[in-house]
Amino acid sequence: MSSPAESAIATYESDRDAALQRVKDLLAIPTVSTDPAFAEDMQRGADWCANRLREIGFDATVHGTDKHPIVTAEAGPTDGPTVLYYGHYDVQPADPLELWHSSPFDPQVVQGPHGDRIVARGAVDDKGQLMTFIEAFAAWQATHGGFPIRVKVILEGEEECGSPSLPGFLDQEKELLAADTCVVCDTGMWDVNTPAITTSLRGLVYIQVRLHGPGSDLHSGMFGGTVPNPAMLLSKVIAQLHDDNLRVAVPGFYDGIRPPDQDRIDSWYALGFDDKAFLATAGLDTDLGEKGTRVLERIWSRPTVEVNGLCAGYTGEGAKTVIGAHATAKISCRLIAGQNAENVRDALKQFFLDRTPKGCRWEITEFGAEDAFEVDGDSPWLAAAQEGLQAQFGKPAAMVGSGGSIPVCGLIREHLGFESLLVGFGLDDDGTHAPNEKFERVCFDNGVKSHLRMLESFARVTA
Amino acid sequence: MSSPAESAIATYESDRDAALQRVKDLLAIPTVSTDPAFAEDMQRGADWCANRLREIGFDATVHGTDKHPIVTAEAGPTDGPTVLYYGHYDVQPADPLELWHSSPFDPQVVQGPHGDRIVARGAVDDKGQLMTFIEAFAAWQATHGGFPIRVKVILEGEEECGSPSLPGFLDQEKELLAADTCVVCDTGMWDVNTPAITTSLRGLVYIQVRLHGPGSDLHSGMFGGTVPNPAMLLSKVIAQLHDDNLRVAVPGFYDGIRPPDQDRIDSWYALGFDDKAFLATAGLDTDLGEKGTRVLERIWSRPTVEVNGLCAGYTGEGAKTVIGAHATAKISCRLIAGQNAENVRDALKQFFLDRTPKGCRWEITEFGAEDAFEVDGDSPWLAAAQEGLQAQFGKPAAMVGSGGSIPVCGLIREHLGFESLLVGFGLDDDGTHAPNEKFERVCFDNGVKSHLRMLESFARVTA
């Protein structure tokens, strides 16, 4: 006799192509949250998600915010455990467009080594992933006519631009969102056959620094050599962000850090991490990072400073002999446990202010600051998730770190008072934030089925 | 009784408003040579110039090249002196467009401290300036029905992108362009009341360096801290271009330089150069340059390296946590007498190659290399030009240097075998290459009249 999850899995199997079409429908909406030009598409994306949740028996609401809407929904009995599911329907900008093999918002299914893959901006981050739990709910509902636990959903539209509306919303909707735990579906698997639960996430600080020099763009022949050149002077400051060992040289940056011990780092490598294969997914045959640390250690457990963008002077085709009036850098830090994001942001800003070139001034813009996050290893919800994943994959889930930042975990702990479980189905080579982002269809299928099995396990937890 | 020049000046005075309209007509054609999108406008610009020259009695030809057309024209007696006039009808790109108070190709006449000024891209560099000699020819022709010497004209369309077609054209059209001297009208006055002849020009080397790292744009959370970040690594190399005294640190860069002696530098300052006023035209209240040198000395007689553009990763609105696959800088050097442009270019390229970061490679593009230029002080043509300017302004022309580069002087010497005279009517605050570029109408008028008086003086030179 099949279990409730297995029956629902059979339902999903019979509806698999329609599910894929629904994923493509959502991916076709260009929900770029960081660019004001896409504001209407953001609304369409939120409405699409709410309507789909209503179709499968949820009571769903689209909440306006100062920026992009937040979707909430709930269904199932009110007298047992409650699990909140989190995803984000916004995506990164698609540029550089010329490097895409197909239009980023015209989802394509193409063949890869693991069979079908879905190619589109947001395929894996995060619209494809949030559809794994929505399709799981659809299959469970169609099979059993109801849910074994109270299921709540929150889908935000500002994850890729620092979640400015989320803290206030969580604070205001404590009751609506009350739950025993939150399943955050925005992370990766160990490999295509091995599920993973992410137990640590790096935090994030993001600022933009613009160095202003001359009052307007100048002719480099008429003024070159005798006036401050912001492009060169900004480069000089950026060059000081790291020392010769590629350690971050911002004073106070490492204050309070709690790096993992060597045993934990060794345990990650014991999973079979292959530096060369990982670098190959980035088109590289060599690493470059902090002296005395290893590739995986760096991305899971070392804080960083990276330049994400540079712009100054003339950037078009050909030559222009200009000295630009200003130069801009976008700079982000990844943080680990023990660092205080606001302190790091202040230290980074001070680093630039302390190096203001003669005749220049800085204009600094902040884009969010979140601490790193670590999961409680003793949670019964963690055990239930592990049980569900083991049932689906026939092997234990890897307990991994992640280099990325998912601010919602810290915000949920702070504002709603419960913990999160990071269970996702992406692969390292999915091209998150890059051209030709993809999501393996086998990962999508395993994601839907894993959510069904975890739902069954969650129903057995007595909180 | 008025002299031939004075009669022609009276003719010009009576046609002054129509002349202004013609200048505006030419400025309205967006002749941006560096951007392939404007190729048709370049052809229109060349045709406009040729047609205007035909209207005033010249035999004019538009010559096709691999890139943008070259206009030549001639008129006047073949049995006396011949003077070639040079200008360029191409302009710099107009961006950043948002800083213009009016559309760059919709010429406006606005009021300034010196009265009417013409605002448009190319107003002073160089379409407004080439119109000073064309309007002078028109007035002379209308007054006297012919010219006192053989007058030849060459107008190129690639000055702002390194003049790639000009050397071959000069070589091929030696006979067509044969003359006793060349008047290059693309420089400035000492001030609004004092004419100048530019006797030294800096040379120019321009390259673009692109540092390639990862095979595609990467998520900075997934890969940050362990892969080469081209934006940061490029900044590190740029930061090494100058030492702490802001001297250029490229090995071999200063080889062979012949800086002017202290007396000559002092003589420039004796003209009354005001560092503060000069810097104010750049919106600055402080200078920044090579230690132990002065503001004017630097721009007229010190070689430089400047960054003219930077571009890497995400440069749009807001935040994107990306590591760009590559980072690009546009870099130019100004050269002085004694430096060999090709050697400097090679040294600059080698500087980058010697600092190739681990896991990265450079893609270097060349955009021209010209030596600096010095004028022969004993030329009778120089004396004639001085005489004409003195007659117009009632005071001697200042003999000045220039920080800019006008490759045509070196090319004419090399390919045609005669010298050039640099006589122009721009002011330091004209905003050459910058938003809201302008040309004072009083300077335009004095330019036309000066050309008429120089024409009379040239006719008296017995070569």
What is the tens place of the pLDDT at every residue in B383-407? Answer: 999 999 999 999 999 988 888 778 7
Across A431-444, average pLDDT = 95
Q: What is the mean pLDDT of residues B80-90?
A: 97
Q: Compute the mean pLDDT over every residue in chain B, rounded to the nearest whole number.
A: 95
Pair of tokens at residue A395: 């092997």
The full set of domain ranges for chain A reads 4-201+372-458, 203-259+302-370
Does the structure show a pLDDT above 80 at B462? no
Instruction: Tell which residue, A77, A82, A97, A83, has the closest CA to residue A35.
Output: A97
Q: What's the average model confidence in pLDDT over B235-256?
A: 98
Find where tokens 């790639």 sit. Answer: B164
Q: How far apart are the CA of B401 and the nearest CA of chain A, in angstroms?
A: 11
Q: Do A288 and B234 touch (CB under 8 A)?
A: no
Inspect the interface and report whether the beta carbons of A318 and B161 lie closer than 8 Å. Answer: yes
pLDDT tens per residue across span B135-164: 999 999 999 999 999 999 999 999 998 899
Residue of B nearest to A336 (CA): B221
pLDDT digits (tens, 9 = 90+) for A267-305: 788 888 899 999 999 999 999 999 999 999 998 899 999
CB-hemisphere CA count at 13 Å for A440? Answer: 20
B205: chain A residues, CB-CB within 8 Å: none
Task: State whether A224 and B432 contact (CB < 8 Å).
Answer: no
pLDDT band, residue B264 (cuts 50/70/90) = confident
Topology of domain B4-201+372-458, per CATH?
Aminopeptidase (3.40.630)
Of B221, B282, B435, the CB nearest to A223: B282
| Residue of A284, A309, A358 lying closest to B214 (CB–CB) | A284
Beta strands in A15-112 (DSSP E): 59-63, 70-75, 82-88, 108-112
Probe site for chain A from B223, B268, B358 (most A CB atoms < 10 A):
B223
According to DSSP, residue B212 is labeled: E
Residue of B97, B125, B210, B235 for testing the chain A interface, max A β-carbons within 10 Å: B235
Query: Using CA atoms in the order A8, A14, A15, A17, what is the torsion angle rounded to 10 degrees?
Result: 140
Closest Cα in chain A to B322: A308
Chain A residues in contact with B320 (beta carbon < 8 A): 34, 92-93, 160, 308-309, 330, 433
Distance from C-alpha of B123 to C-alpha of B262, rounded to nearest angstrom: 35
**pLDDT (average), residues A339-364:** 97
Min Cα distance B47 → chain A (Å) is 24
* Confidence label for B463 from pLDDT (cuts 50, 70 and 90): low
The CATH number given to A203-259+302-370 is: 3.30.70.360
> Residue A270: its pLDDT value, please?
86
B389 phi and psi, to 5 degrees?
-65, -40
Q: How far is B112 from chain A (nearest CA, A)?
A: 18
Q: Please, which residues have CB within 8 angstroms of residue A418's CB and are 6 or more apart in sequence?
A: A179, A180, A181, A182, A412
Nearest residue on chain A to B315, alpha-carbon basis: A309
Q: Give residue A135's pLDDT band: very low, low, confident or very high (50, 70, 90).
A: very high
- pLDDT-derived band at B417 (thresholds 50, 70, 90) equals very high
Confidence band (pLDDT; 50, 70, 90) for B376?
confident
Contact A232 B221 (CB under 8 A): no
Asked whether the beta carbons of residue A217 and residue B99 sit closer than 8 angstroms, the reply is: yes
Predicted TM-score (pTM) of the model is 0.75
Split at pLDDT 50, 70, 90, the class of B210 is: very high
- Nearest residue in chain B measured CA to CA from A291: B226
CB–CB of B319 and A329 under 8 A?
A: no
What contacts A339, CB < 8 A, 6 or more positions away?
A203, A253, A254, A255, A256, A257, A303, A371, A372
Interface with chain B: mutation pick from A35, A158, A202, A232, highest number of B CBs within 10 Å: A232
Interface probe with A: pick from B286, B297, B321, most Cβ of A within 10 Å: B321
Structure tokens at B27: 């400025």
Reported as a pLDDT band with limits 50, 70 and 90, residue B251 is: very high
Pairwise CB contact (< 8 Å): A232 & B242: yes
A463, pLDDT greater than 60? no
- Other C-beta atoms closer than 10 Å to the C-beta of B419 total 17
**Does A239 contact B236 at a Cβ distance shorter than 8 Å?**
yes
Give Cβ neighbours of residue B255 (< 8 Å, ≥ 6 apart): B339, B340, B343
Which pair of structure tokens corresponds to residue A354?
A: 């302390």
- The verdict on a CB contact (< 8 Å) between B217 and A96 is yes
Output the pLDDT for position A378.
Answer: 84
Confidence of residue B233 (pLDDT cuts 50, 70, 90): very high
Across the interface, whether the CB atoms of A330 and B319 are under 8 A apart is answered yes
- pLDDT higher than threshold 80 for residue A81: yes
Quote the minimal CA–CA distance from B191 to chain A in Å. Answer: 15
Per cent of chain B over pLDDT 70 is 100
Euclidean distance between the first and the last CA atom of chain B, given in angstroms as a whole number: 28
Of A447, A448, A17, A461, nearest in space to A195 by CA = A447
Could you give the percent of chain A with pLDDT greater than 70? 100
On chain B, the residues whose CB falls within 8 A of the CB of A298 are: 225-226
Please compute Rg for chain A using Cα positions: 23
Cβ count within 10 A of residue A36: 11
Which of chain B's residues have a Cβ under 8 Å away from the Cβ of A295? 226
Calculate how close chain A gets to B278, using CA atoms only, in Å: 9
Q: In angstroms, rounded to a whole number, what is the distance separating the alpha carbons of residues B217 and A92? A: 12
Residues in chain A: 463
| Interface A-B: count of C-beta contacts within 8 A | 367
- Percentage of residues in chain B having pLDDT higher than 90: 84
Whether residues B306 and A403 touch (CB distance < 8 A) is answered with no
Question: Are B227 and A284 within 8 A, CB to CB?
Answer: yes
Q: Do A320 and B433 touch (CB under 8 A)?
A: yes
Q: What is the mean pLDDT of chain A?
A: 95
